[in-house]
Amino acid sequence: MNYKDKYNEWLTSEIINEETKNELREIKDEKEIEDRFYKGLDFGTGGLRGIIGAGTNRMNIYTVSKATQGFADYLNQNFDKPSVAIGYDSRNKSDEFALASALTLAANGVKVYLFEGLRPTPMVSFATRELDCKGGIVITASHNPKQYNGYKVYDEFGGQVTDDKAGKVISCVNDVTDFGAIKTISEEEAKEKGLLVYIGEDIDFKYIEKVKGLTINDSLVKDKAKDLKIIYTPIHGSGNMPVRRVLKELGYENVSVVKEQEEPNGEFPTAPYPNPEDPRVFSLALEMAKKDGADVIFGTDPDCDRIGVVVKDSDSEFKVLTGNQTGLLLTDYILSAAKENGKLPKNGVVIKTIVTTEGAREIANHYGVEIMDVLTGFKYIGEKIHEFKNSGDKTYLFGFEESYGYLAGDFVRDKDAVIASMLIAEMTLYYKNKGLSLAEGLNALYEKFGFFKEDLVSLELKGKEGQEKIAKCIDSLRNATIKEIDGIKVKTKLDYKLSKEENMLDKTVSEIKLPKSNVLKFILENGSSFVVRPSGTEPKMKVYLAIKGDSIEGAKKDLAKFKENVMKLVESMLN
C-alpha cells in the first residue's frame, strides 16, 4: 500500500475521528501527505519520537495506542499480572497520550500507576522499580522542538528497554496491523476495576529523600548552602517542583527561578528549541544574573533528564559549559570526594558513551577507577547498572553522556537532572569555598589532565529523501578508504554496525563487543577522532569531533581546523 492509499484509508476509516480527518483534508502539499504516510512512525529501541499530527508517521492518539497495544501484548506474554508506571511532561498532548496509553493497558488487564500530574522522566524510572512494575512509559520528546512528542518504554528494572527486549516489544507492536484491534476502556471503568491507580505524593517523597541521600559533603552543604546564589530555569518543563524542593530542603535558600520560564507550557514561548545544549535558552537567566549576580545558572529540559550549566569565567563573563565539561567536573568531584573520604571502592566504574570526552578516561585513571564505554544512549548505562547489581563484581559510581545527561546513584536507571542539579549546586559550593568558580575549577582540570575539546555538528535532512541521504552518506564513509585527515594518518576505524575495529596501519581487525549500531568512529594518530551516526530522535545526521590540544587556545584552533576538514569529507559523501 503506497502513501496515498494509506492517506485515503484514514479518510474513510470509521475508527479515525472527524477532527483528524479534517486535519488531513486541509493538507494541500503532496510532499506533506507523503511524509505523513510513506511509513509508520518507527517504534525503535527506545520507543516513538515524532512530530505531533495526523498520519502513520506522526505522534497521535492512534499511533500511541497502537504502540501501547503492542506493549500490552508483550507484557502479557512475558509476565503474570503485569503492572506499568506511566508519567508525562509538559509537552502538547502529553497528558492525553498518557491517559490513552493507560486505558489501553487497562483494557488488556494490565494494572496502571499513572502520575496525577507532570513529572520528570527519572521519577518514572524510580516509580517503575519502587512499585515493582514490569514496565514503564514516559510521554515526552525530551529536548526536541515543540512540534514533537514521544513515547519511551522502560523494562522491569527501570531502564529503557535495550536491544533484546526492545526487539520483542517491537515485534509485538508490528503485529498490531489494524487500529480496530486496539483495546480501550473508559477511565471510570478502569478505576472501578482497580486497573488504574493515580500516583500521588508518596512516591514524590520517597524519590526526593533518595536524591538528598546522594549529598557528598553533608557538613559543607549544611553550613554553607545558604550562601550559594543559584538561578534556575525549568524551561517550561517538569523540573520546577522537584529541583526546587530538593534544593530548598537541603538549605539552598538563595535560589531564583526565571519567572518567564517557570510555568509548564508545551508551546515553549521563550525557547522554541527547549534544549539546555542551546545557549539561547539561558538568555533570560543571563539577564537576571547581570542584574543580581549568581554563582551558577542551570536549566533543565522539558522532561528534566538533561541539564545545562552556565558559569562565570576568569573575566567575570558568563559562559555555557558543554555537556562534556560538566561531566568532567562531576567525574572529578565525585571521585576525589570518595577518595578523600576513604569510600572509593576498588571495583568502582565510571561509564560514558563512545562519543563522550576522553578526558573522563584520564580522570578515572588518575583515581584508579575503571572507565567503560557504551553505545550512545543512556539506556546502555542503565543496563550496565543492572548488570553490576546482579553480579556484584563492579560498583557503579557515575555515568554521563556528552548530550547533557548525568546520573549518580542506582535507584534511577536513566539520566536524572534532579540529581545532577543537586550535585552541581554542591560542587559549585565546594569550589566557592576554595575561592574558585566552576570555570576556574574546569581550567584546573585541563591543566592537570589535558586540554580536551569537543564539538558536535547536526545536519538536518528532513523527509524520506533526507533519511535516504543519511543512510547513503554513512554507507559511503563505511566503504571509503580514508587514510588521513589533513596529513594526519587515520589509525583506527570502528564500525559498530559490523562490530569491527580495524587498525588501518597494521591491517589487523578485532571484534567490537557492543550491540550493533549504525555508527562509525575514526581515530587519528594524534588522538583526534570523529564519529558519524544518524540521530535516533530527529531527522539529523550527527558528527562528533574531539581533539586534545596543548593549551586551551591551542585546542580551540586545532578543533576548528579539524572540524573544517572532517566536514568537507562528510559533505562530499552527502552530494
Which residues have a catalytic role annotated? 142
Q: Please write down the HEC assignment for all residues of 189-222.
A: HHHHCCCEEEECHHHHHHHHHHHHCCCCCHHHHH
Sign of dihedral through CA atoms 253, 259, 265, 271? negative
3-class secondary-structure state, position 406: strand
Instruction: Please name the residues in contact with 484: beta carbons below 8 A apart, sequence gap of 6 or more.
Output: 490, 524
Q: Which three cell numbers stand for residue 30?
A: 503532496
Kindly report the CA angle at 501 between 498 and 504, in degrees rounded to 5? 120
Integer-rounded Cα Rg, in Å, for the chain is 24
Instruction: Please name the residues in contact with 2: beta carbons below 8 A apart, sequence gap of 6 or more.
Output: none
The answer to whether 409 and 237 have CB atoms below 8 angstroms apart is no
**If you search the block for the grid coordinates 558536535, which residue do you land on?**
456
CA 202 to mean position of chain CA atoms = 26
**DSSP-derived pairing of the beta strands 83-88 and 111-115:** parallel
Which helix (H) or strand (E) element contains residue 325? helix 323-340
Q: What are phi and psi of 407, to 5 degrees?
A: -155, 125
What secondary structure letter does DSSP report for 321?
A: P
- Number of helices (H), then strands (E), in the chain: 19, 23
First to last CA, the chain: 31
DSSP per position, 259-316: GGGTS--TT-TT-SS--TTSGGGGHHHHHHHHHH--SEEEEE-TTSSBEEEEEE-TTS
Question: 3-12 and 18-25 are packed helices; what angle lies between their axes, rounded to 10 degrees?
Answer: 140
Sign of dihedral through CA atoms 385, 391, 396, 402? negative
DSSP per position, 533-552: EE-SSSSEEEEEEEEEESSH
CA 243 to mean position of chain CA atoms = 18
